[in-house]
Amino acid sequence: MTFPYDAILVVSYGGPREPDDVLPFMRNATRGRGIPDSRLLEVSGHYQMFGGASPINERNAELMDALGAELASRGITVPIVIGNRNWTPYVSDAVRELEASGARRVLVLATAAYASYSGCRQYREDLAAALAETGASLELTKIGPFAETEGFLTANTDAVRAALAVAEGEPRVLFVTHSIPLAMDAASGPGGENRYSDQHRRVAEEVAARAGLDADGWEIAYCSRSGAPHIPWLEPDVNDRMEELAGEGVGSVVTVPFGFINDHMEVVYDLDTQANETAADQGLAYVRAATVGVHPAFVAMLADKIVEAAPGEVGGLPTCGVNCCASGHPGPPRPAACSLADRTAGVAG
């Protein structure tokens, strides 16, 4: 089989690499939301606890190395590059690099497992903006959300089993993911079948069943809420729920960061630091399960998706159609790259 792509572009959120990067990064991440520097400096303290660097950069590098090795074992040795939304190298930097290298047909992989505006559609908008900014003539094809694939489920199940093996007593398992506004959740899939929250529920149900958890032994909680207090987001917050569980007589908790693919800031701060402190304050024994990271089944699944991807279309869930997650921002849909259907409909260039 001849691999039909010249390169693979990994698109991710990005993160600071040193203390001086933190405030500019935070400004990028909150652009257009009117958040003052005073508030950004407060949140920036989370990064300063880790030397001013986000672990996302190293974790993404590890994933790219593991994926490159898996693909090489299958005879695929094309370059794998990264472009970030909020810090260097930006998506536009990666597009320039690929164009200069002579690449024309590029496969895109986002470091987000679930469909949502910020996890899928917004990356396609980032790509369209990068093409417009650089004038590059790349043909981009994006792999769709992959949360419900066998490899992702297997890796999360193994993580839950390993955490349960070291947890105290009979722990309550909290499957934790990033909270989003209710309006964004409602717009994250057609027909109510693939909403962000629905996907998470299905994944948690399947992983819990495989791990042998009773129906009342697990639940879903959320972390990393931001934004105005009057705007409703998915709940409950993981810290609030742990306080309630302690009051109900639960003595042990396992958190499972099944909404994230690796240990970036929402995991090492929100769960390893903040939730860990909440557990200690409430007298709860606490274990945090691993993210899928470079689990062999997860990496092999991504390689399968790459091998199977047909040029010119968006693979995966139907939420990657013309109007997927289109209400992630006010006004009409922004140009979004990666789909022939979008180009036919005039949505993307």
Based on the fold, state whether residues 268 and 320 are members of the same structural domain.
Answer: no
By the 10 Å C-beta count (0-12 exposed, 13-18 middle, 19+ buried), 216 is classed as exposed
Q: Which of 270, 288, 306 is the last residue of a domain?
A: 288
* pLDDT digit string, tens, across residues 208-235: 999 999 999 999 999 999 877 888 999 9
Q: Is position 133 within any domain? A: yes
Same domain, 12 and 142: yes
User: Does residue 89 share a domain with residue 12?
Assistant: yes
Same domain, 108 and 157: no
Looking at the fold, whether 162 and 245 belong to one and the same domain comes out as yes
Query: 53-101: per-residue pLDDT in tens?
Result: 999 999 999 999 999 999 999 999 999 999 999 999 999 999 999 999 9
- Mean pLDDT for 18-26 is 94
pLDDT at 79: 98
Q: Residue 248's domain is classified under what CATH number? A: 3.40.50.1400
Helices marked H in the chain: 22-29, 37-48, 56-72, 91-101, 122-134, 150-166, 182-186, 196-210, 238-247, 265-268, 276-281, 296-308, 340-345
Q: Are residues 141 and 257 in the same domain?
A: no
Do 182 and 54 belong to one domain? no
Per-residue pLDDT of 178-218, as tens digits, reads 999 898 888 886 555 568 999 999 999 999 999 999 999 99
Backbone angles phi, psi at 26, to 5 degrees: -60, -35
Domain ranges, residue 90: 7-146+294-345
In a domain, 1, yes or no: no
Kindly state whether residues 198 and 258 are assigned to the same domain: yes
The domain tally of the chain equals 2
Is 99 found in the same domain as 66? Answer: yes
Distance CA(253)–CA(166), nearest Å, equals 11
Q: Are 14 and 142 contained in the same domain?
A: yes
CB 233 within 8 A of CB 225: yes
